Amino acid sequence: MGSLLVISAHAGDFVWRAAGAIALATSHGDRAKVLCLTFGERGESAKAWREGRTLEEIKELRRAEAAAAADVLGAEIEFLDAGDYPLLESPALVDRIVRVYREVDPSVVLTHPPADPYNQDHPAAARMALQARVLAQAIGYDAPGEPLGAPPVFFFEPHQPEQCDFKPDVLLDITPVFDTKRKAMECLPAQRHMWDYYTDLARRRGVQLKRNAGPNLGLPHTTMGEAYMRLYPQVTGTLS
C-alpha cells in the first residue's frame, strides 16, 4: 500500500484536476490525503458572493463541498485556511506543509504546475509544496516524524494549459473511476460551470491516451484520462 498527497491551492482544484488519480489510488487500497491551502472563498466562489453570502458563510460552504467530494473519492482532507486571492507564501505556511509531508510520508505527490498567468495562487501553492518537500527530507529540520524519502512529484493539468507551459508527459487512464470523479465534481455546485468542461477534457485526454498506447492495448472507445507532468526523473531498470 502506498500513499498519495495532493496539495491544492483552493477547495475545488483537486477535484477538477486530480480526482481520477485520487479515486484510482483509494480503489487500490492506498491512502490519499488532500491538503487544501484555502477554501477559494474570495476568487473561486462568485456564485455565493452574488447570492449575498458573507465571507465566513462562503468558507463553510466551500469546506462542506470539498469535504463531500473527498468523501466520494475515499480521501482524507485537511484545510489550512491560508486565505486566497492572494495566497501569500510564508515560512509558517511552508512549515505546516512540511508537517503534513512527514505525517503522510507520501509515495506520490500531486500539485499545481509552477506557471499560471491567470491565477497566481496556483504557482504559489506549487512553490510552497516543492519547498516543503525538500525541507521534509532534511534530517535536521525540526518537525515530528522521520525525514521524507524522495516521492515523485506530478503537476496536474491547469485550466488553460497552453498558457501555463504545460506539456503532459503522463496520461493516466481513469476510465474505471470516471463516474466517481463526476460524482465528486457534482459535489461542488459553487463551480457548476466546471462539470462539463472537465468531463470533456477527460474525454479528449482519453483519445490521446489511446493514440499513445497503440492499438494492441484494447482500450475501450470511451476511455477517459487525466494529464500530468513529471518533475523529477523516473528511476527504472528497464525502458518501457
Beta carbons of 111 and 123 less than 8 angstroms apart: no
Please state the three-class secondary structure of 111-140 as a single string: ECCCCCCCCCHHHHHHHHHHHHHHHHHCCC
Do strands 31-36 and 108-111 pair parallel, antiparallel, or not at all (unpaired)? unpaired
pLDDT of residue 218: 63
Which pLDDT does position 222 carry in this prediction? 85
Query: What pLDDT does residue 214 have?
Result: 77
Sheet-wide strand order for 225-230: 76-79, 31-36, 3-8, 108-111, 153-156, 225-230, 170-173
In a structure prediction context, what are the per-residue pLDDT tens digits for the chain, which is 240 residues long? 699 999 999 999 999 999 999 999 999 999 999 999 999 999 999 999 999 999 999 999 999 999 999 999 999 999 999 999 999 999 999 999 999 999 999 999 999 999 999 999 999 999 999 999 999 999 999 999 999 999 999 999 999 999 999 999 999 999 999 999 999 999 999 899 999 999 999 999 999 999 998 766 666 668 999 999 999 999 999 987
Task: Tell me how far the alpha carbon of residue 88 is from its chain's centroid.
Answer: 19
CATH H-level, domain 3-230: superfamily: LmbE-like (3.40.50.10320)
The strand pairing partners of 171, in sequence order, are 227
What are the backbone angles phi and psi of residue 35, rounded to the nearest 5°? -110, 110
Q: Which residues contact 179 (CB under 8 A, 6 or more apart)?
A: none
pLDDT for the residue numbered 190 = 87
- Tell me the three cell numbers of residue 15: 477535484
Every domain of the chain and the residues it spans: 3-230
pLDDT at 240 (0 to 100): 77
Displacement of CA 65 from its chain's centroid (Å):
15
158 close to 166: Cβ distance less than 8 angstroms: yes
d(CA 147, CA 156): 25
Rounded Cα distance between 69 and 89, Å, is 26
Instruction: Return phi, psi of residue 231, to 5°.
Output: -85, -50
Give this prediction's pTM.
0.96
* pLDDT score, position 167: 96
